[in-house]
A and B are shown apart, each in its own frame.
Chain A
Amino acid sequence: MAGYILRRIVSTIAVMALVGIFVFLLLRLAPGDPAAMIAGRSATEEMIAGIREQLGLNDPMPVQFMRWVRDMLGGDFGTSIFAGRPVLELISQRLEPTLSLSILTMILSVTVGVSFGIFAAWRTGGLVDRLLTAFSAFGYSVPVFVIGYFLIYFFAIKTHWLPVQGYVEIERGLGPWFEHLVLPTVALSLGFIAFIARVTRASMLEVLSEDYMRTAAAKGASSYAMLFHHALKNAGVPILTVIGISFAYLIGGVVLTETVFNIPGIGRLVVDAINNRDYPIIQSVLILTSGLYVLINLAVDLAYTLIDPRIRY
């Protein structure tokens, strides 16, 4: 196991290095100039040239790359070209909203999605199964912004039960924090609930048709025991996989939801940074999220051994 983890960590570092080189080259080769964005639409060439010099953007590309790698290895992810503040500080400010939204979404999605999946598999072909299948198709196909605007209209504008937009830090009270996250969480969860429910249903159906399940039923095992002790544990690996992928995806990219509900998270930070050509932010976020993605996948792989003892590394 220890050898396996070590190998995965080494491969993670290699992946991040490749991502770093790729991102750096892509940004520098793409048209656009942060100095021009800073200077404004009516700026003169002299203004832009002065800012480029100040930012060190006139240095040769290898010099800029080596400077970035050297600083990053020293724990310095650079300073935002636009905000003039350390990138890590900006990312940490944006991490809380994104993590809050991601965790609440995963809790809701896993709870509801797995329950739906189990129930649909248990009553396969019945009315409930058909309804859940229809819901899954709906959850998959309706874009998050459509659901978002719909929720805003009914729960914020019409009834004033919940706020339209914004985010309140958890330190300012659990109530306001939760209040601002209800609608985005629901909007974002629908797709994930559908996804997790479908995978759970398929996985459970496969397990429920196994011989040992028939044996358990013949021996008089209760429905609860059959579903949760025997079936769910053995159906767990694919479910855990999609949960892991979903969580990693959520942390890296909830841009639309953050935009619709005006949540200042990582997604919006990156989009703003791309529009402004704020290289240090884009590079750092991509490096960190790719590292996080790989680590979540590693955690999921290790979790397999807990639910299925036959899996060994």
Chain B
Amino acid sequence: MAISRRNLLKTGIAAGAAFSIPSVLRAQTAATEARTVRMSMSGIPSIFDPVITVSQTTTDHAAAIYDTLFALDSKFMPQPQMVGKWGASDDKKTYTFELRDGLGWHDGNSVTAADCVASIRRWGQVDPGGQLIMERASDISKKDDKTFTIALKEPLGLLPNLLANLLYVMREKDADKPATEAVTTNIGSGPFKFNQAAARPGASLTYDRNDKYLPRQEPVDGLAGGKVVKVDRVIWENIGDAQTAIAALQAGEIVFYLTPPADLFPAIESDPNLELQVLYKHGQDFFLRINCLQKPFDNLKARQAMLHLVDQKAFLQILSSNQKYTNTVTSFFGSGNPVSNDENTGWFKKGGDPEKAKQLFKEAGYAGEKVVILQPTDWSDASNTSQLLADALRKIGIDSELAPSDWSGLVARRSNKNAIENGGWSIFITSDTDFARGEPMTTSHLALNGEKAWYGWPQNDEYEALRAKWADVETVDERKALARKMQGIAWDYVPEVLLGQFTAPIARRKTLTGLIGMPDIVPMWNMEKA
């Protein structure tokens, strides 16, 4: 069949019309998109209960829809949030909290003191800070609809700080569930409402502004102050592929991308509409966790050798090709916290000190025992640094071996306390926020309490005695003094070794402003979209 010019023209017009229809529809929906913020976070949660999991996505979800009794300001000091008036008795053993006016659940009911009591009790079963409160509390009960008290067996100066740490208040009927059974109702009293009807599990989640939310009057300061929502809707898109997420950002389909990989920074920096921004400037501290129960690291000298072996600069080059976003970190309590200090950090040397490490292994009586490093192949940062560590150990004559698996496999194996030949392990690499290192009462891996400790099971009674005091003291200066002593012991004992700090920037369109930079959470209030 010959193709005539007329047929070609008709086909062209038809094809043009077909392609233009979607564009017209897109233009029609532009008005409703203007006050909608589309974000790509680090995935989207499938567990929505912040008591069940401490994963980043669930915490972000909880921060949006739930409110907190206290919240940390930009200096990490606890400030009242849902709480209005509050105070402690003269003997510091009874705290009374009164809720501020106008707090309401998304289902229309008012927030009551009974909701707060139930929430504290449920959270207190699993959160280390909550567990401490439950240990010290003789009674937690409501006095009236707006007032509740926490009565303590002995004073607990840290109480407001603990209440400010990821305690999201739920309705009493939700909080009455066992701490191991997930709450799925998503009814909070926070600045955003979860839009259940628009949710596409695994694909996208939608949050609408809670028009009835009454923000505090104080200006926003960290997570504290007035949570003022300046957009109508926030949609989290689950974009699994980094290249696609950047393309969507460039095309304006999303305006925020939480985790751009370092190799795509140049593409973002070269686009005049986009910007990289470090929200929390102290980022993540990477560290290697040591199994203190098994050879060779049951020996103090072998653990100390690891401090001298690590060249943080080398590890940081693996964590980010752009050194602008990395820092060395030497304090056991992180680099950006009020209690960070330089006590007992003489081991730090640029480039490490492999000869010293070799000598310490010798003094430890190292006899060729195999060192098994658990390598999570589905987490490139930890996987690549594991390979560098294995190489560094081999170079000083240590028989190191990588045990590759995905993160789930690593988690299954790291609870094994047995020797290597019986499925045990020696080292794994992980990370935590720098902020978490500033709170030894709530951060599991900062405890050195043996069998009860986090994986690796370090034990040092002297350190633990000081850690116990941490909860009692009230001032930052007192905690600073304690931190120096604890750090002196910790870097002699060496439960873990710091590998450096990565301050991962987010990528955003320049039209999105007002982002709050705090650890653990990406708050959605205060943002504005031009």
Chain A contacts of B468 at CB under 8 A? none
The answer to whether A85 touches B201, judged by C-beta atoms less than 8 angstroms apart, is yes
Q: Point out which of A160, A175, A268, A277 has the most chain B C-beta atoms below 10 A from its C-beta.
A: A175
Q: Which of A40, A48, A82, A85 gathers most chain B CB within 10 Å?
A: A40
User: Do B251 and A156 have beta carbons less than 8 Å apart?
Assistant: yes
Q: Which 9 A/B pairs are nearest by Cβ-Cβ distance? A: A179-B22, A264-B203, A32-B408, A31-B409, A36-B411, A82-B46, A50-B180, A40-B54, A40-B55
In which size bucket is the chain A interface? Answer: 35 or more
Tell me, yes or no, whether A53 is within 8 Å of chain B by CB.
Answer: yes
For residue B53, CB closer than 8 A to chain A, the reply is yes
Question: B22: which of A30, A83, A85, A175 is its contact (CB, 8 Å)?
Answer: A175
Residues of A within 8 A of B201 (CB): 83, 85, 90, 93
B247 contacts A153, C-beta separation under 8 Å? yes
Q: Is residue B214 contacting chain A, with contact meaning CB distance below 8 A?
A: no
Q: B188-206: which have CB < 8 Å to A?
A: 200-204
Interface residue ranges of B40-70 to A (CB < 8 Å): 46-47, 52-55, 58
B244 and A152 contacting across the interface, CB-CB below 8 Å: yes
Q: Report yes or no: B202 in contact with A54, Cβ–Cβ below 8 A.
A: no
- Is B421 part of the binding interface, using a Cβ–Cβ cutoff of 8 Å? no
A54–B237 CB distance below 8 A: no
**Which residues on the B side are within 8 Å of A163 (C-beta)?**
26, 251, 253
- What separation, in Å, do the CA atoms of A309 and B238 have in the docked complex? 50
Query: Does B30 sit within 8 A of A, measured CB to CB?
Result: no
Asked if B202 contacts A269 (CB within 8 A), the reply is yes
For A37, the chain B residues whose CB sits under 8 A away are: 407-408, 411
Contact B244 A176 (CB under 8 A): no
Given contacts A84-B184, A264-B238, contact A277 B444 (CB under 8 A): no
Residues of chain A within 8 A (CB-CB) of B179 are 50
Cross-chain contact of B250 among A90, A157, A264 (Cβ < 8 A): A157
Besides the known contacts A50-B126, A50-B180, 4 further A-B residue pairs in the complex with CB atoms under 8 A apart = A41-B407, A42-B432, A164-B253, A175-B25
Question: B297-335 vs A: 1/0 string, CB under 8 Å?
Answer: 000000000000000000000000000000000000000
Which residues from chain B contact A179 at a C-beta distance below 8 Å? Answer: 22-23, 25-26
Are A262 and B240 in touch, CB under 8 angstroms?
A: yes
Which B positions have Cβ atoms within 8 angstroms of A? 19, 21-26, 46-47, 52-55, 58, 126, 128, 178-182, 184, 200-204, 237-241, 243-244, 247-248, 250-251, 253, 378, 405-409, 411-413, 415, 430-432, 436, 443-445, 454-455
Contacts of A260 in B (CB 8 A): 241, 243-244
**B407 contacts which chain A residues (CB < 8 A)?**
37, 41
Instruction: List the A side residues contacting B247 at CB < 8 Å.
Output: 149, 152-153, 156-157, 164-165
In the complex, what distance in Å separates the CA atom of A29 from the CA atom of B53? 25
A85 to B408, CA, bound (A): 22
Bound-state CA distance A127–B425 (Å) is 63
List 10 A-B pairs, Cβ < 8 Å.
Answer: A31-B405, A36-B412, A39-B54, A42-B443, A157-B251, A164-B253, A165-B237, A165-B247, A261-B244, A262-B241
Within the complex, the shortest CB–CB distance from B83 to chain A, in Å, comes to 27
Give the CA-CA distance A176 to B253 in the complex, in Å: 14
Whether the Cβ atoms of A264 and B202 lie closer than 8 Å is: yes
Q: Could you say which residues of chain A place their CB within 8 Å of the CB of B203?
A: 167, 264
Which among B52, B204, B250, B444 is the interface contact of A44 at CB below 8 angstroms? B444
Expressed in whole angstroms, the minimum distance between the Cβ of B509 and any Cβ of chain A is 14
- Chain A at the B interface: SS class: helix
C-alpha spacing A94/B200, complex, angstroms: 9
Kindly provide the distance from the CB of B427 to the nearest chain A CB, expressed in whole angstroms.
Answer: 16
Whether, in the assembled complex, A241 has its beta carbon less than 8 Å from a beta carbon of chain B, the answer is no
Contact A173 B25 (CB under 8 A): yes
Q: For residue A271, which residue of chain B has the nearest CB? A: B240
- Asked if B409 contacts A32 (CB within 8 A), the reply is yes
A240 to chain B, nearest CB (A): 25
| A138 at interface, CB cutoff 8 A | no
A211 within 8 A of B: no
- Asked whether A51 is an interface residue with its Cβ less than 8 Å from the other chain, the reply is yes
* A43 interfacial by beta-carbon distance below 8 Å: yes
A228 within 8 A of B: no
* B244 and A164 contacting across the interface, CB-CB below 8 Å: yes
Interfacial chain A residues near B204, Cβ < 8 Å: 264
Among A243-273, those with CB < 8 Å from B are: 259-262, 264, 268-269, 271-272
Contact string against B for A residues 150-182, beta-carbon threshold 8 Å, 1 for contact and 0 otherwise: 001100110011111111000001011011000
Q: Does A33 contact B (CB under 8 A)?
A: yes
Contact B202 A268 (CB under 8 A): yes
**Contact residues in B for A40 (Cβ distance below 8 Å):** 53-55, 58
Q: Which of B55, B181, B436 is within 8 Å of A54, CB to CB? A: B181
Cβ of A51 and Cβ of B52 under 8 Å apart? yes
Contact A161 B23 (CB under 8 A): yes
A157 to B252, CA, bound (A): 9
A291 to B497, CA, bound (A): 51
> Would A38 and B47 count as touching, CB distance under 8 A?
yes
Q: Please give me the residue from chain B that is nearest to A173 by CB atom.
A: B25
Q: Which of A30-87 contact B (CB under 8 A)?
A: 30-34, 36-48, 50-51, 53-54, 80, 82-85
User: Whose C-beta in chain A lies nearest to the C-beta of B415?
Assistant: A45
Given A45-B415, A165-B248, A260-B241: A80 touches B22 (CB 8 Å cut-off): no
A165 to B247, CA, bound (A): 9
* Closest chain A residue to B455, Cβ basis: A45
Contact yes or no, A268 B408, CB < 8 A: no
Are A47 and B126 in touch, CB under 8 angstroms?
A: yes
Contacts of B47 in A (CB 8 A): 38, 82, 84
**Chain A: which residue is nearest B411 at the CB level?**
A36
- Contact at B22–A54, with CB atoms within 8 Å? no
Name the distance in Å between A169's Cβ and chain B's nearest Cβ: 9
A276 CB–B CB distance under 8 Å: yes
For residue A275, CB closer than 8 A to chain B, the reply is yes
In the docked arrangement, what's the CA distance between A31 and B178, Å? 28
Provide the bound-state CA to CA distance between A151 and B405, in Å: 35
Residues A44 and B454 in contact, CB atoms below 8 Å apart? yes
Is A39 touching B52 in the complex (CB atoms < 8 A)?
yes
Q: Which of A34, A44, A262 has the most C-beta atoms of chain B within 10 angstroms of its own C-beta?
A: A262
Q: Which residue of the partner chain A has the closest CB to B382? A: A41
Q: Please give the distance in Å from B6's CB to the nearest CB on chain A.
A: 22
A46 to B407, CA, bound (A): 18
Complex Cα spacing A162 to B23, Å: 8
Is the beta-carbon distance between B53 and A42 smaller than 8 angstroms?
no
| Given A93-B200, A152-B247, A165-B247: A178 touches B241 (CB 8 Å cut-off) | no
Tell me whether A54 and B180 are in contact in the complex, defined as CB-CB below 8 angstroms, given that A40-B55, A149-B243, A264-B200 are known contacts: yes
Interface-centre pick from A42, A46, A272 (highest chain B CB count, 10 A): A42
Rounded to whole angstroms, the CA-CA distance of A55 and B240 in the bound complex is 27
* Contacting residues, chain B, for A54 (C-beta < 8 A): 178, 180-181
